[in-house]
Structure 1
Amino acid sequence: MTLCPLPVSSDGCNASQTFRLVEQNSKHSLVISLVPDFRGDLSCVEKVSKSGLDVFAHNIETVEELQSVVRDHRANFNQSIEVLKRAKDYAPVGTLTKTSIMLGCGETPDQVVRTMEKVREAGVDVMTFGQYMRPSKRHMPVSEYVTPEAFEQYRILGMDMGFRYIASGPMVRSSYKAGEFYIKSMIERDRATFSIRVS
């Protein structure tokens, strides 16, 4: 199950209650929460991280240098990196963190690599890369259609950097069904291994 961002209530993150209920009542579901940056409110990040999720997902959307062009003006790269880093710190053992970026927004290969390095330094386990497609004429135009070969190079590089899983291709989106089956089996293996170690 993928849950998109829910409204932030006065206590900062009513979504955490929803995630906890889903986890308690549907033990066999994969609960992936795609959340905002909570405007940097780390108490919210902590509550959501500890709510029984399998995957804490927050998308950085683009490379660091293009954040102000691509994202809402209230979002910023360093804040997103801090959210992902803290989520990894707060979450129970076995919870994965995940982020996604779109390519074809005007980024350079060097910028993509530097962004990947910073994401990995934050402890992120899973990263996806997809092609930016212009939703309407009101949105920014596509700068480049990235080749399948370039997407594959980013996938290989990401695995070499130590990411647990990379999905990279023109048609990949942040909610990538083919990848979710693999992620679910990876989580189950991790938790089984952890249970053996502590028993």
Structure 2
Amino acid sequence: PPLDADEPDKVARAVSEWGLDYVVLTSVDRDDLEDQGSEHFRRVVQELKRVTTDRGNTLIVEALTPDFQGDRELIANVATSGLDVFAHNVETVERLTPRVRDRRAGYRQTMDVLEHAKAANPGVLTKTSIMLGLGETDDEVRTTMEDLRARDVDVVTFGQYLQPTRRHLHVKEYVTPEKFEEWRVVAEEEMGFRYCASGPLVRSSYKAGEFFMRNMVRERERSAREGVAA
């Protein structure tokens, strides 16, 4: 279907009227569009920021994006739109990617998307999500985390894979809460992620992490102001 040219205004007005201070934007893949929806993402983010600022409010915007087929220009277009958090999910370890994800998605391409977003806008927070319980090994999870940190990804979340229908992949393991906590410690204390939400019911857009994300955004803005003042 064609894009709704009025959607940026509609979304911005609705969010402002609801009084939200954190919003996550996402979309289906729009490979049918020449720019795969990149400019639409950008317009929505910019209108959200404009309307909430005009009304004297502060809004943190996270965009959970498709991979834009790895097109650096399209990735940069979103990363530099004024958003605060650029999220793109790796979902699983490299070995399992061909079976778990859409055949058009690739592990290395996801890493490239996150890397290009940070390169285009070093001030943006980058974020990704990993599902556990699909048959991955501990070594593979560690390697995935190392690959993410090599791209300077700031935030990672871990959640339990749950089979949505009989046609989907079966759950290989129900990971214990204790194991999820171990991964949180590894992520934050060993790997250097700025934040990790990890638990059986955690998903990429996880409300419990919003308080911490808000603080990180404000810390970044304060550092930027101090840098200008200096």
Normalised-by-shorter TM-score class: over 0.9
Write out per-residue CA displacement over residues 67-98 of structure 1, whole angstroms, 9 at most, x where no aligned residue. Answer: 001000000000000000010011152x1000
Shift of 1:10: 2.0
Q: Which contiguous aligned blocks of 4+ residues in structure 1 show a shift greater than 4 angstroms?
A: none
| 1:3 to 2:44 alignment | no
- SS of the aligned residue for 1:3 comes to strand
Q: How does 1:53-72 map to 2 (within 5 A)?
A: 53-72=83-102
Q: Distance in 2 between matches of 1:74 and 1:66?
A: 14
Write out per-residue CA displacement over residues 130-165 of structure 1, whole angstroms, 9 at most, x where no aligned residue. Answer: 000010101111000001111111110111211000
Q: How does 1:162-181 map to 2 (within 5 A)?
A: 162-181=192-211
Give the match for residue 41 of structure 2: 15
| 1:101 to 2:130 alignment | yes
* Aligned residue among 135, 140, 145 for 1:116: 145
Write out per-residue CA displacement over residues 148-185 of structure 1, whole angstroms, 9 at most, x where no aligned residue. Answer: 11111111011121100000110101010010121011
Give the match for residue 221 of structure 2: 191
Write out per-residue CA displacement over residues 9-44 of structure 1, whole angstroms, 9 at most, x where no aligned residue. Answer: 323412211111112222412201000111111111
Shift of 1:5: 2.2
Write out per-residue CA displacement over residues 99-157 of structure 1, whole angstroms, 9 at most, x where no aligned residue. Answer: 00100011011100000000111110000000000101011110000011111111101
Give the structure, 1 or 2, with the largest relative contact order (CA under 8 Å, sep 6 or more).
1
Which amino acid is 2:142 matched to?
V
Q: Distance in 2 between matches of 1:175 and 1:124?
A: 16
Taking structure 1 as the reference length, what is the TM-score of the superposition? 0.96
Which stretches in structure 2 are left out of the alignment for 5+ residues?
1-22
Give the match for residue 76 of structure 2: 46
Taking structure 2 as the reference length, what is the TM-score of the superposition? 0.83
Question: How many residues are aligned here?
Answer: 198
Which amino acid is 2:191 matched to?
M
Q: Distance in 2 between matches of 1:26 and 1:125?
A: 26
Deviates more, 1:22-31 or 1:81-90: 22-31
Asked if the contact 1:131/1:169 (under 8 Å) is kept, the reply is yes
Q: Distance in 2 between matches of 1:109 and 1:77?
A: 17
